[in-house]
Structure 1
Amino acid sequence: MRWDNVYVAGLGAHLPEQVETAEEAVAAGRYDAEEARANGIRAVRVAGPDEPGPVLAAAAGRQAVARAGLPADRYGMVLHACVGHQGQDFWTPVNYVQNEAVGGTGLTLEVRQGSNGGLAAVELAASHLAARGSTPQAALVTTGDAFRMPYFDRWGTDSQQVYGDGAGAMVLSNRGGFARLRSTASYSDSSLEPIYRGTTGWTDGPFHDGRPVDLRSRKSDYLLQEEGAYDRVIQQMTKNASQVLDEALADADMKLADARFFVHANIAETIAQFSFYSLLGVDPETTVYDWGRDFGHMGAGDQLIGINHVAEARAPRPGDLLVTMGVGVGFMWTVAVLEFLESPAW
């Protein structure tokens, strides 16, 4: 989708102060040393007892709202994307984020699309703003996750993935900003949905057996059901990723080589090398991956947090293009292209 009048007016991130390194996790017997070497994630941030995902998200949201400098009554939508438990059952964390970060009476929605939730929310917010182009409006998108034992083991629940706590935020506006959203593209392939559901059947509630979530077994059970399933899935995912990237680049009237920045998830080094640098042709020098190896995979927020890092630390210039890509279980891919119009004052 090509966007003409959707802008980024503010960005924010909130990363907890406590650091836990991969070295420390290996020494404590929580993380396999061989996996640590292969995955390449050096450390994660660990949220405090009173910092569930929505609290982190509200802090990131307040920063983005302050940087945007727009009045609260202009926010016609607040979207909150997350992956893990949000600190309370039977609750709507997005309304907490709205109340704590910006206020107002705009539409609120929670987005649950796995690791692609942040970018999926950006595309939804852009659609909302474009449909209301005759009136000045803004939308706040936040992400926030804190991965805690005994429900979730950040070092062991998933294979080739280490989970860190953190939150990101973006303010979109239909009246201007320091960057322009040039295009987005999304693609879903629900035939891959069973990979993370597994084969063990349904449960009556979360944490039903008192053990941490086991995503490793779910994936292996599915992929070992038939010969060649692993290769088929990899080929299918590669095809889908290429398709959505090509669509977004075409709608933005650019080639991948035109991008000064490329922001992808903070995943295992082996996956980044294979999926992004080898198959898609992304130049590692354009990414923030080396920085991200000190934070790990922050649920739905890697992309928004990474874009914030670019704005704060990589000195974007007017005309610079940024491409960001997400993929979430289900499976769904989203690519967004931003063009910096100026260096943000903050």
Structure 2
Amino acid sequence: MRWDSLYVAGVGTWLPEPLPVAAAVIEGKVDEARVEELAYKSVLVADELSPPEMAVRAADVAIGRAGIPRDEYSVVLHNTSWYQGHPMWPSGSYVGRHSVGAHVPCFEIQQRCNGALGSIELAGAHLASGISTGSAALLTTGDRFVAPAIDRWHCHPQSAVADGGTAAVLSAVGGFARVVATSTAVDNTLEQVNRGLRPFSELPPDPAEPFEYTSRYREYVAGPGGGDAAEQLKKVLITACETVLSDAGIGIDDVAVLVIPAVGAGRLSRVLGVPVERTSWDFAASTGHLASGGDQIAGFANLLETGSVSPGDHVMLFGGGGGYTCTAAVLQINEVPDW
């Protein structure tokens, strides 16, 4: 879809100190073979703050940078992948309350690693619908992966999951970057990649037993109908990419930087036909996988903060998450903010 009046007005992060992978090896958290497979330099590991608190801190940065009055915010979409600190608790409402106030509808989105990018379309549609008189939307992510309930180094087949909060402010009025187009491609048969062949359970997992879905993925791929999963996934990725480029009216060579998830050692760049040097992989390799779409917001913020883009540049944010959904967004830089 091509957007006429959707802008990025602010981005912000709250990221803990990175743990070098060499230190993680010495501490016995991961072995050298796994480190080589992941191709990370470090992974963000927090020893304080809940995920919603991280999201609020990131939101404070993004809101301050956007400079939009809080009464102009019409929706908050908080994206999560893991436990938020309390069971059956609306973490999105906490984020909204402590960032833009008590007046704004707040929703928690659990579309896993595609949450934040998918939320661009949801927020854009909300702002264009006239449901609210507000002109701005706040998108946040927040996750913290604490042992023994989850082993960050081995729970995902192609990544180590990282802690942190990110935020972006979208505006229907103006901003430093314009959302030119977005596209979401879907194949819901791939939800079973995360479920495997196991029956549904009646209770949550025992937190003393580390959660992982690598074995579920392997079960599905080895089972009936699972052998085509890799090709199905590739089709979804390529469809999202080709559609957003067509809607934006540009080619892949016109994309100055491709902001990709911190998974698969950056191999997504090859699937999309972009040299890894033109992607955000170098930054992603220093953070680990900020699930819920944090990779893309943090990666975009890093481009701006390091002066790695110029006015007129097209930047593609590219994400995907269990389900399987994949969202691509083409942005054009109007100006590089002085942050």
TM-score w.r.t. structure 2 length?
0.95
2:313 corresponds to 1:320: yes
AA aligned to 1:29 is: G
Match of 1:280 among 255, 272, 275: 272
1:8 is aligned to 8
**CA distance in 2: counterparts of 1:30 and 1:201, whole angstroms:** 30
Structural RMSD (CA): 1.6
1:262 is aligned to 258
AA aligned to 2:290 is: M
Offset of 1:118 from its aligned partner? 0.9
AA aligned to 1:119 is: L
2:233 is aligned to 237
* Contact 2:74–2:134, Cα closer than 8 Å, also in 1: no
2:333 corresponds to 1:340: yes
- SS of the residue corresponding to residue 293 of structure 1 reads helix
1:172 is aligned to 170
Unaligned ranges ≥5, structure 2: none
**CA distance in 1: counterparts of 2:155 and 2:283, whole angstroms:** 23
Cα displacement string for residues 230-277 of structure 1 (whole angstroms, at most 9, x for unaligned residues): 4x11111111111111111111111111011110101131xx22x322
AA aligned to 1:117 is: G
* Contact 2:71–2:134, Cα closer than 8 Å, also in 1: no
2:42 corresponds to 1:43: yes
AA aligned to 2:303 is: V
AA aligned to 1:332 is: T
Count of residues paired in the alignment: 338
AA aligned to 2:24 is: A
**CA distance in 2: counterparts of 1:90 and 1:324, whole angstroms:** 31
Cα displacement string for residues 219-239 of structure 1 (whole angstroms, at most 9, x for unaligned residues): 11111114x844x11111111
Unaligned ranges ≥5, structure 1: none
Offset of 1:136 from its aligned partner? 5.1
* Contact 1:320–1:339, Cα closer than 8 Å, also in 2: yes
Offset of 1:209 from its aligned partner? 6.8
Aligned ranges 1:26-37 → 2 under 5 Å: 26-37=25-36
* Contact 1:138–1:171, Cα closer than 8 Å, also in 2: yes
**CA distance in 2: counterparts of 1:182 and 1:246, whole angstroms:** 14
Cα displacement string for residues 70-91 of structure 1 (whole angstroms, at most 9, x for unaligned residues): 1111000000001111111110
1:65 is aligned to 63
Structure 1 residues 253 and 220, CA, compared in 2 at 3 Å: closer, same or farther? same
Structure 1 residues 56 and 310, CA, compared in 2 at 3 Å: closer, same or farther? same
Cα displacement string for residues 273-307 of structure 1 (whole angstroms, at most 9, x for unaligned residues): 2x322x22012122111111111001111111111
**CA distance in 1: counterparts of 2:237 and 2:309, whole angstroms:** 26
AA aligned to 1:338 is: L
**CA distance in 2: counterparts of 1:54 and 1:134, whole angstroms:** 25
1:299 is aligned to 291
Aligned ranges 1:110-259 → 2 under 5 Å: 110-132=108-130, 135=133, 137-208=135-206, 210-226=208-224, 229-230=226-227, 232-259=228-255
**CA distance in 2: counterparts of 1:170 and 1:244, whole angstroms:** 22
1:86 is aligned to 84
Match of 1:290 among 261, 282, 289: 282
